[in-house]
A and B are shown apart, each in its own frame.
Chain A
Amino acid sequence: MKSPMRGLLSGLTILGLSAAPALAEYPEKPIEIIVGYSAGGGTDVLARTVGGYLEKALGGEASVVVKNMPGAGGQIGFTAVAQAKPDGYTLGTFNLPAALALTLDREADYDADSFTYLANFVKDPNTIVVSKESGIESLKDLLDRAAKEPGRVTMGLSALGGNDHFAGILMESAAGVDVSFVPFKGAANARAAIMGGHVMEGTMTLGQTVGYEDNLRVLAVLDTERSPFAPDVPTAKELGYDVEMGSYRGLVAPAGLPDAVREKLVTALRAVNDNPEFQKTMVEQGNPASFVAGEDFAALAGKQATVAGKIWNATPWK
């Protein structure tokens, strides 16, 4: 349904351009952002929000179109971006560590080097949560219990092989305990199982706990510093466990993007991030902003790949 629409759009653009050849500078046709998830998800909303501001930041006739290619946990979308022509007209959303975790437990046609890293916008740290009715008051309570009954404490999470699972494994090894992971289909189901008392504890990102304060108790945030969204919750580090895990969302392009185009895009994305209106929208959407651009983003991806690789080698999940 969408492709004829796009054809029409690009057709119109070409018509417009042939009338005004002076505009032969990037971008001279619509830029497509491929989202590996369906419309209306957190990543999709981010892409649409950034896309809107990016049009303004690039100026002129720039137009940004979001294309959803859901399936296989995002892999279909990530693969499409990696294999697209690096001309700056195909960008994609990039989720860390999910996108790189997929290259470990499955055959994938891309790896960490298949992309040009433009900018990361969101970092949503993982948390350790329990139900308010569980009687568990602190991380210490929980870990004492896990130490006393190895393997009997059940931990609900959204899926194996994602940031939730990694958070669980890192916490487990930092505290020297043994818990049982129960991978529900998605964070919402995991959250309901924790609230209903079907599992004893769980992990999800801080953003996913927002609004459920009446039912959930967040014991710790797995980040280096406290989050402005939950200033009262201690970090795991403060409590003596050096664990950091979260979910990152940013924008990438295929590897081999010409430097001029890359410069232009990174500059424009920086301008998007500096826009106070954009920052306001991000807060409204409950997106903890964490802007990292260019080389620093590539380094972040490299670091995440190493962490994921280490976890996979130590405790492969399939």
Chain B
Amino acid sequence: MYGDLINALPTVLTVANFAAIVIGVIAGIVVGALPGLSATMAISVLVPFTFGLDPLVALGLMAGIYNGAMYGGAIPAILLRIPGTPAAVATCFDGYPMAQQGKGGYALQVAVVSSSIGGIASALALMLLAPPLSRVTLLFGPSEIFWIAVFGLSSVVFLLGKHVVKGLISAASGVLVSSVGADPILGVDRFTFGQLELLDGINIVILLVGLYALPPVIDLLEKPLKTDALGTGKLHTQSLLTSLPSMFRFWRTWLRSSLFGIWIGILPGAGGSMAAFLSYNEARRASKTPETWGQGEPEGIAASETANNADTAAALIPALTLGIPGTAVAAVMMGGLLIHGLQPGPMLFRENPDVVFGFMWQFLFGAILLIFLGGSLATNNFARVLRLPRPLLGAMIIVLMLVGVYSIHGRMFDVYLMLGFGAIGYLMDKLDFPLPPVVLGLILGGFAEENLRLALRIGQGDWSILWHNVTSQLLIVLTIGVVFGPGILRRIRGKRGKDGGDADGNPTP
């Protein structure tokens, strides 16, 4: 198999195939940076057009877009507190405070370097370990995946914000939104009010754009003359070579978050946002100074951006080896393969090794190119965007949002839905309800429900199926440790010395 890998390299390095990756990465960064446009959408628009292209050119474009968009999403997340893609939500936590402190340039550099490292780690996992990792995927049945979802949901504890009750209300409303549409087992309509458009549930991008992008835009329009570090458009960017050495202290986070991203990637259904949330929380837990997190800690950006890029190529492991479209992006990429008559699955490796291994190389090159293209292109040019008058910037973003949301399915219904979420998001913002739990609730609520119900169907209603095997038991222990561990540790420390009580402050983003 490694022989095939080497054999595929020369083809990838031909001009057309390599240019496709470069164009893809640049397009991906732009698409990711524009709120409302996501990698999924860009690739699904692209797929029909690739019908006539050479497969590797088409796949190179897709690999580039996927990698580029995962970083691109960080740009507005850092500069405007608007996550460009769902996976960039956790990047806002520390990215935006850094930009406000005039360190936006450094924040973007941390994001691009981390994205690139995550992407490279993920591509290597895909190239070298795809077959063994696909066996890991098979180990996870509905009950195991249910516990993964619970593990992910448990991290909501750290996203609740200052008011625990408000945070829980946010999380619960996210889960409520996840239940809209045909129920995952019987197909019974829930909260669809007879609208066919709601039958497939609410697309995460629609919720995200409404909730996250509209309130800051309204803020841009409300206060047309606000001047802070952002208003002057100064990011205080140093050359990447100067700032790079200061990032090497993140190596532990890079490693941990890469592993997290890859792990979440090979599990069907979870996706980059969950990888970013989880690795952000784990990195903060491991940090010596958790209290600085959420106030502009560059390591937080490193954690989230490494993980969401480490999810990319790894998500293709189940897609390529087992034909399972684990995430929306992987699903449209499989479409890109199918349209060229390449059926994902074991025989893809046997019958078209040149294409499948070439595709893997393209992922690796895409991730490496990210650092050059993202570093030079994005950091400086996007700073200029911020120098635009605030009302103009706001108006431009609104147009992009409307176009982006419309183009997901090509229907106005989604646009109205997005505007509705925008109104809710505006109110939540004013009333201090935290937004990240809503996103987490929407992503993981449906995921948990579907797998719980599948598991119970397999167990014929017997709940003990949920803790019948070792994988499930390990996951349960892990979840309990994450939720109660910090409290128990605090109590033990508190008994030892009285000053332990000071460190009681819940770490909040």
Contacts and interface: CB of A to CB of B under 8 A. Distances in A.
A95 to B, nearest CB: 16
Interface in B446-481: 450, 454, 457-458, 460
Interface string A205-216: 000001110110
Interface stretch (A181-189, A230-238, A239-247): A181-189
Nearest to B144: A198
Contacts of A286: 343
Interface in A21-44: 38-42, 44
B335 interface: yes
B335 A72 contact: no
A151 B460 CA distance: 8
Contact of A41 (B45, B140, B338): B338
Nearest to B194: A107
Interface in B329-357: 331-332, 334-339, 341, 343, 345-348
Given A75-B196, A188-B324, A318 B454 contact: no
A196 B341 contact: no
Contacts of B432: none
Interface stretch (A112-120, A153-161, A169-177, A299-307): A153-161
Given A76-B196, A192-B318, A40 B141 contact: no
A193 B196 CA distance: 30
Contacts of B187: 73, 105-106, 159-161, 317-318
Nearest to A181: B457
Given A180-B460, A318-B188, A210 B137 contact: no
Contacts of A41: 335, 338
A212 B350 CA distance: 12
A212 B346 contact: yes
B345 A189 contact: no
Given A40-B339, A211-B345, A184 B454 contact: yes
Interface in B104-145: 137-142
A317 B44 contact: no
> For the side of the interface on A, what is the size category?
35 or more
Interface in A1-35: 1-3
B87 to A, nearest CB: 21
B216 interface: no
B460 A192 contact: no
Given A2-B410, A71-B200, A188 B184 contact: no
B185 interface: yes
B197 A71 contact: yes
B186 interface: yes
Contact of A40 (B323, B335, B407, B457): B335
A210 B324 contact: no
Contacts of A2: 45, 410
A45 B199 contact: no
A308 interface: no
B1 to A, nearest CB: 15
Given A39-B44, A182-B458, A70 B409 contact: yes
B167 interface: no
B51 interface: yes
B136 to A, nearest CB: 10
A182 B341 contact: no
B96 to A, nearest CB: 30
Given A188-B322, A188-B325, A79 B345 contact: no
B345 to A, nearest CB: 4
Nearest to A208: B323
Interface string B153-194: 000000000000000000000000000001011111100001
B47 interface: yes
B460 A182 contact: no
A45 B454 contact: no
A152 B460 contact: yes
Contacts of B141: 193, 196-198
A34 B392 CA distance: 39
Nearest to B318: A192
Interface string A54-78: 0000000000001011111101100
A198 B142 contact: yes
B407 A1 contact: yes
A217 interface: no
A70 B346 CA distance: 28
A152 B459 CA distance: 8
A195 interface: yes
Interface in A127-157: 151-152, 154
B48 A39 contact: yes
Contact of A79 (B142, B196, B332): B196
B323 A191 contact: yes
B410 A196 contact: no
A59 B269 CA distance: 45
Given A39-B335, A71-B200, A318-B188, 13 more contacts: A3-B410, A38-B335, A66-B48, A71-B409, A106-B187, A183-B185, A183-B454, A192-B318, A192-B324, A196-B137, A196-B141, A198-B141, A285-B343
19 contacts: A40-B332, A40-B334, A40-B335, A40-B338, A42-B338, A48-B48, A66-B48, A75-B199, A183-B454, A186-B325, A188-B324, A189-B324, A191-B323, A192-B268, A192-B322, A211-B348, A214-B346, A284-B341, A318-B186
Interface of A: 1-3, 38-42, 44-45, 48, 66, 68-73, 75-76, 79, 105-107, 151-152, 154, 159-161, 180-186, 188-189, 191-193, 195-199, 210-212, 214-215, 281, 284-286, 317-318
- Kindly list the 9 A-B residue pairs having the minimum CB-CB distance in the complex, ordered from nearest: A40-B335, A198-B141, A196-B138, A211-B347, A211-B345, A72-B199, A39-B47, A318-B186, A188-B324
